[in-house]
Amino acid sequence: MGANYRAACRAKSKPDFINKIRIVEEEADETMYFLELICEFHPDKRDEIAILYKEANELLSVTVSSINTALKSLH
């Protein structure tokens, strides 16, 4: 997510930013999916993973908010 966010910050235009930040959104969601899988295979790590999952969800929320703000500014 971090590398893709950095790329979004260096976008050449608003549409380019939106495209790149959507990749960040996908990566955050994918990260959450893999954390869910890890919990299934390693239930003893559930508490530790819950912290990471919460953080990933917060990053996803911020990313979606950024996308919505950027889309509004296009109109």
Whether the pTM exceeds 0.75: the reply is: yes
Cα Rg of the chain, angstroms: 15
pLDDT band at residue 66 using 50, 70 and 90 as cut-offs:
very high
Angle formed at CA 53 by CA 19 and CA 62, multiple of 5 degrees: 40
Coil, strand, or helix at residue 75?
coil
What pLDDT, in 10s, does the model give residues 15-38? 999 999 999 999 999 999 999 999
The CATH number of domain 2-74, selected from 3.40.50.620, 3.30.565.10, 3.90.1150.10, 1.20.1440.60: 1.20.1440.60
Residue 56, class by beta-carbon neighbours within 10 Å (0-12 exposed, 13-18 middle, 19+ buried)? Answer: buried
Domain boundaries, the chain: 2-74
Residues 33-60: tens digit of each pLDDT: 999 999 999 999 999 999 999 999 999 9
